[in-house]
A and B are shown apart, each in its own frame.
Chain A
Amino acid sequence: MTCVEGLRVVLLDVVDTDTQRCRVGPHLMSRLGLRVGSPVLIGVSQGTCLCVAWPRRDLAEGYVQISSQCATPDLSTQTFTGLTVDPARIKALSCPRLTCTSVKVFVRSLKHKRHVRELVQELLSGLYLHRGHLVDLSHANTEIRFVLVEHVNSGAHTAGLVTDRTRVDVSAVQSAKHFQNQQRVSDLSLGGLEDVYASLKEMIVFPLRYPASLHRLGVSCPRGLLLIGPPGVGKTLLVRCVAKDVGARLVTINGPEVTGSRPGESEENLRRVFDRAREAAEEGSCVLLIDEIDSLCPKRTSGSSAPENRLVAQLLTLMDGIGSEEGFVIIGVTNQPDALEPALRRPGRFDREVVIGVPLLLQRRRILECVCRQMPLSADVDLSAVAEMTCGYVGADLSALSREAALQAMRHSQPGVAERVEMRHFMAALRQVRPSCLRSSIGATDFKPVRWEQIGGLEEVQLKLKQSIEWPMRFPEAFVRMGISRPRGVLLYGPPGCAKTTLVKAAASSSRCTFLSVSGAEIFSPYVGDSEKTLTQLFVQARACAPSIVFLDEIDSIVGSRSDGGSSHSVQSQVLSVLLTELDGVGFRSLERRSGSRRMRQLESGEQEPDELHQMELQEVCNKDVLIVAATNRADVLDSALLRPGRLDHIIYVPPPDTEAREAVLRVCTEHVPLHPDVCLRDLAELTERFSGADLQNLCKEAALTALCEDGFTVSCVRHRHFLKTLQSLTPSLTPDQLQQNIHLSVSS
């Protein structure tokens, strides 16, 4: 007769609705050592509820009927039908008679607050209470709907029975609507925004918690805050989280909802929302969130229409009007602060402006931890590595990434088997989800990754490039220790066809930076000032996704020189001046600020910081800049201002390949070509004086074609004579003049 398996949850009988009874079979009761009417704590799904055990009237085993009259807040709205409960989750609870308890009361409307205290005592009497549980008292048809138990017996016990002699303290009376609004916000997770979060919370909580001190100081707490940041970093989510955490009511204004068709309707709507928020602020704190405030409150210029101007004026006066209410905070959210009416951005309206930047490495890791919390991750998933790879991704991108990874796992899983998300799923997802800030960007390029080994020779140049690009990423600690900062720019120059572009490609694919490549065609435009703007935009984006590499190919054609006699007002010289200021200007615009890691450090200082975290932090410190890599084959025409240290500090000459290098290049080029044993690459290397890398590649291709020509399409390999024959028809592309020119420059610099 014993039932070991789960108990089926059945709907409660009507007669038992307000009795706190849970009906179970008598055998189970005797097995659990329960008497009739002894309090039990039942764990159902995520929460628990406190009931009184009672035998089922038909004495049947295997069923349980649960009263959710006193349950954790998340349970009370749910229905239990269809669930099963493990008998092990039913626990007997010792409940002493309480001497005192403190509760928060939720009433139907705040008008009838008077009798609440006496009523609560009467209504609760005879019930068992548990700390943190919500007691449903709506059956009594009084003003009181719910009671939230804050603590019982001053915290000495977790649960107990209320008798006529128990002292019931009412800590707060709030409207039930208020409570339900709070409940509706689902469980949100937020990562990497701790410092902004703290400042926001402080703003809401201070006036509520320390009104006396504020009054003594004679100041009023700031009431307005403008959140600025690129789309997808979690501005709105942050506000929702804060509101939920401090228990504030959230009233939202969306631009299109407010705007009406009749004249004056929009202003009326706006006033109504403010009234609603003010009403909510009377019973506790209230956050008024104005999402996309730039659409609601654009600049008032002579061009904009009169209704729009009136709406802006209404908003301004309304914001001035909220002086007296405690705990009423207005938060505006925008990603285009420049489009806002300047009158809004002054103390008294939006006192504070908080810029949320694109998340840095550690923040990304936190965000990933948050978004993957619910996900079954396999042991090989290294979120730190994923964070390193997702440079330039914002919160929304990261959550899209994790979702995509989970989808990948689902696609590959067998039906019925719960597959864990593995690292390869993340890798596959990384290929599909690109950072959103690069979606509309100029210069975002897709290219086939190139490995260092695919470049023959040029070991010295490779080393120098690795120094500037890879080392700061891999050994940040050493860089900090030696006090070296990352170079700002690298100029690669040398004769054409000597793998300058390929070198940059290899560098970009080996480091996990954002890679933006731009050429003259993308920058120049027929409109005056447009080219400069495009270049500035490029750098803004590069900084937002830092660490990043901006590659300017054929830089001589983009910028030119100011000293070569041309007009100083030409587009090229203006582009040059923009580039110079971007490389080494006074500072950034305040908009591009990104939250520093120092604050996060402080937050964590209490706990022991793992080495890995420290490493990541250092990496962040070292790599907050944009590296410019320029390539040219006419370094002599470049402006001298561009070549000084601090701008393009590393000037690397990519020489034409010497004999050894040519041999290495030939080896790389013939990797996929079947060679006859009589081919001697060394001989070929010696024969190809003044051939560039590109020439050598061409040679291999031509030789293979010659072989096909001479020996028909069934030929199996390329012979040495094919190479020699091809060589006769090819001339080296490098001229002695070119070589002389470049060598001259390298000597002078």
Chain B
Amino acid sequence: MSSPVLASFHEQLHKCFEILKVNKSIWEGVLVECTSMISSLGNLATQIKALKNVQLANTPLAHFPSLQERLHYKLSLAVDTVLRKLDENMDALQTARNTISQHVSAAFQFYEKNTNTLDIICCVFRSATCPSIADMLEWLQDADRHYRLQLLQRRNFLQMLTPTDLTLMETAPKRWDSLRLPSREERIGDALCQVSFLMEMSSKAQL
């Protein structure tokens, strides 16, 4: 159980998990930012809708020339700004996802290269302190897939938003929240907890 290949593979896996941990927090941070933006987007949509429905001529504001168009223009600009920011955030998410993907696939490639040394029995061996290689690979793959899918769904959702479909934009915050999959996120958190002991051990050993 202590061949050099195994040790180096373990090391690579730990590195992967560290990357995952870092990027998970980045991802969550960006998502929090997004949530506030999306809610402001929903707010803007409500405003545009209200603007469409109101009869400005019947209000004291009737004296201002072409107020309706101006307000609409202003609101549209605001929507554009929010969407642009969201897009930037998506790019940030993409970077995080790419980093995770890169490391996960590197780990898999390493495993595939060394299948002869790392046979199944070795892969499924687990101890109290150390989860089995198969488990760790599974967690990594699941995490990678989760982030890939999340990004895809969120991007897809943002693409579906159009200035004409105000109802969709109004309900955007709710829909955005419904895209979250807490169970998957929990699983990633659990996985990180399970490997944390091992990671501490190895970092101590390095010290």
Contacts and interface: CB of A to CB of B under 8 A. Distances in A.
A55 B159 contact: no
B28 to A, nearest CB: 21
A15 B145 CA distance: 12
A140 B152 contact: yes
B124 A119 contact: no
B123 A37 contact: no
Contacts of A35: 111-112, 115, 120, 123
Q: Which of A37, A54, A115 has the most CB of B within 10 A?
A: A37
Contact of A19 (B111, B141, B160): B141
A31 B104 CA distance: 27
B134 interface: yes
A115 B145 contact: no
Contact of B123 (A15, A27, A55, A140): A55
Contacts of A126: 144-145, 148
A678 to B, nearest CB: 99
Contacts, number: 58
Counting chain A CB atoms within 10 Å of each CB, the highest count among B115, B120, B141, B187 belongs to B120
Interface in A109-151: 112, 115, 119, 122-123, 125-126, 140-142
A114 to B, nearest CB: 9
Given A19-B145, A59-B124, A30 B153 contact: no
User: Which of A26, A36, A115, A122 gathers most chain B CB within 10 Å?
Assistant: A36
A36 B123 contact: yes
A26 B121 CA distance: 7
B121 A30 contact: yes
Nearest to A29: B120
B149 A54 contact: no
**Residue among A19, A26, A115 with the highest chain B CB neighbour number at 10 A:** A26
A126 B108 CA distance: 12
A37 B153 CA distance: 25
Contacts of B108: 37
Contacts of A141: 153
Contacts of A29: 120
B165 interface: no
A36 B137 contact: yes
B88 interface: no
A36 B111 contact: yes
B142 interface: yes
Interface string B137-180: 11001101100110011001001100000000000000000000
A19 B148 CA distance: 13
A57 B126 CA distance: 11
Nearest to B98: A164
A26 B124 contact: yes
A122 B124 CA distance: 31
A39 to B, nearest CB: 12
A340 B32 CA distance: 71
B80 interface: no
A126 B120 CA distance: 22
B142 A30 contact: no
Nearest to B116: A35
Contacts of A27: 120
Interface in B94-117: 108, 111-112, 115
A115 B159 CA distance: 9
Given A26-B124, A54-B138, A36 B153 contact: no
Contact of A15 (B135, B144, B148, B187): B187
B119 interface: yes
B93 interface: no
Nearest to B155: A122
Given A15-B187, A55-B123, A122 B152 contact: yes
A152 interface: no
A36 B121 CA distance: 11
A119 B137 CA distance: 26
Given A55-B134, A57-B135, A122-B152, A34 B120 contact: yes
Tell which of A34, A57, A125 has the most Cβ of chain B within 10 Å: A57
A123 B152 contact: yes
Given A36-B133, A54-B134, A54-B138, 18 more contacts: A19-B141, A19-B145, A26-B120, A30-B119, A30-B120, A35-B111, A35-B120, A36-B111, A36-B120, A36-B123, A36-B137, A37-B111, A55-B120, A55-B134, A122-B148, A122-B152, A140-B149, A142-B153
Interface of B: 108, 111-112, 115, 119-121, 123-124, 133-135, 137-138, 141-142, 144-145, 148-149, 152-153, 156, 159-160, 187
18 contacts: A15-B142, A18-B145, A26-B120, A27-B120, A29-B120, A35-B115, A36-B111, A37-B111, A37-B137, A55-B134, A57-B135, A59-B124, A112-B160, A115-B159, A122-B148, A140-B152, A142-B152, A142-B156
Ordered nearest first, which 6 A-B pairs have the shortest CB separation?
A30-B120, A35-B115, A26-B124, A26-B120, A122-B152, A55-B124
